[in-house]
Amino acid sequence: MITEPVSDSVREISPGLSLRGIVPPLRLRDFKLIAFDMDSTLINIECVDEIADAAGRKAEVAAITEAAMRGEITDYKESLRQRVAMLKGVREEQLAQVYRARLRLNPGAAELVLACKAAGLKVLLVSGGFTYFSDRLRDRLALDFARSNKLEIVDGQLTGRILPQSWGDICDGAMKRETVLRTCSLIGCDPSQAIAMGDGANDLEMMDAVGLSVAYRAKPRVRERAKVAIDMGGLDRLLEVFGHA
């Protein structure tokens, strides 16, 4: 395994960047896949919360989202169904408004994606959020793969339901892990040659399955289990862990 821990000790290698049980520099080109969570990791918002704002229910939905991300709600699928049900009646143009006016790439996101692609890695976006946003980000950043949940839209309005897809019903933590492992198999990559980056409890299963787990401004439970924790600065601070070779 590329990142076999030498101990479980944590050390800060520079302000806001700490490592658990690994010694840099690693080589980025020794990895073959990087998997990103979307909401609050690759991008600055929780999309479901911002859509709920259009329905006048942001506080209610955001409270459930926060509890789910902290790991206080064990059934992610049911929590997402509850939140999506509250979005019934939101118009499709309001989704577009969230994308245009509220969604921003987190600092360093584009730079990290470019660096990974230049080093030969494939890039996967795997999210408990929605295809409306993940597909646009996939195209915008020229990502190799994307998987997330599909909102049902009828007559230009959300129905409050999530549509099943060929791979299953809802992309929760278990599906994130399965997606990362299947992508590894698809590209001929051992899971130890994969990186997974996230911030919430539903990212832990995929983070535990790979060689290098990265917590980005993450919930305490996630930060405590990641091999790399970025608490300040942008996503591209991950590159500080790697050498130039």
| Active-site residue flag, 39 | yes
Q: Give the per-residue SS3 of 16-85.
A: CEEEECCCCCECHHHCCEEEECHHHHHECCCHHHHHHHHCCCHHHHHHHHHHHHCCCCCCHHHHHHHHHH
Q: What b/e readout covers 187-226, taking b as 16+ CB neighbours within 10 angstroms?
A: bebebbbbbbbbbbbbbbbbbebbbbbbbbbbbeebbebb
CA distance 110 to 192: 24
* Catalytically annotated residue among 39, 49, 172, 236: 39
Please report, for residues 12, 123, 191, the alpha-carbon distance to residue 137 in angstroms, rounded to integers and kept in the order given.
32, 12, 24
Residue among 30, 37, 49, 53 flagged as catalytic: 37
State how far the Cα of 238 lies from the Cα of 242, in Å rounded to an integer.
8
Name the residues annotated as catalytic.
37, 39
